[in-house]
Amino acid sequence: MPDQKLTVAALQAPFGDDTNANIETVAGLIREAAAAGAQVILPPELFQGPYFCKTQEEHWFAQAYPALEHPCVTALQPLARDLGVVIPVSIFEKDGPCYYNSLVMIDADGAAMGVYRKSHIPDGPGYMEKYYFRPGDTGFKVWPTRHGRIGVGICWDQWFPESARAMALMGADILMYPTAIGSEPHDDSLDTAARWRRAMQGHAVSNVMPVIAANRVGDEDGQVFYGTSFIADHAGAVVAELDRTETGFITASFDLDFLNRHRAAWGFFRDRRPEFYK
């Protein structure tokens, strides 16, 4: 039976070419967040290295690994076990001839609970992910971890209300989104930071469920990642946030019993009419 009080954390940092250094950056922040009481700790998307999808270059395929052999997974499993924390780990996955933008959920005993593969794959200037990743074939996932039922989407998934609702219908207690998002190379005047937040705050309101988003920061060859990682409560209010440049973590605590009662009281799931949604 998971604890009914849940403390979550989101991490934010810049990442470079050295995978081991990136893993150590994340591990250090995980230790700090765990010391502050966090039980489920979310690193950003594809923290193994630079966000390579801004261009189409075949040499990046060599950076993919089978999910359970990925160095980010094997390095963080013992840390999760030692600290007793849950860590959703975003990876570049190779499965035979297929490549995916994936996530391995590590439970608080260090065990890998399985793999989620990103469902929605963007394709545009600076975010050419369709060159690298097949659309995910796992369907959405909600993980019954030691510390609660955790639903996780990956970056572009976070813009789709269907993703959040599907995970809510699967019984999620909270929703988490590891992210790599920043400047738009085709339009210097376009800053999506505010609407990025608003989309997920809407998911929180409509599902009466906290939402946690972890982004990277830094200038990667002119593509500037805008951070602004945040935690929103069940009403969509931002209760913790980081700015556009800082490296660090944020935490927030939630009462799962209250959230379950409050979700029922609002009636969003009672009053659904899926027969009209086709």
Residues identified as active-site: 45, 118, 155
Place of tokens 């010391």: 35
CB atoms within 10 A of CB 129: 22
| Among the listed residues 105, 127, 130, the one whose alpha carbon sits nearest the alpha carbon of residue 116 | 105
CA dihedral 20, 6, 212, 230 (to 10 degrees): -90
Q: How far apart are CA 121 and CA 255, in angstroms?
A: 34
Q: Which residues contact 86 (CB under 8 A, 6 or more apart)?
A: 39, 40, 41, 80, 105, 106, 107, 108, 143, 145, 146, 147, 150
Going by C-alpha positions, the residue among 19, 20, 39 that lies closest to residue 256 is 39
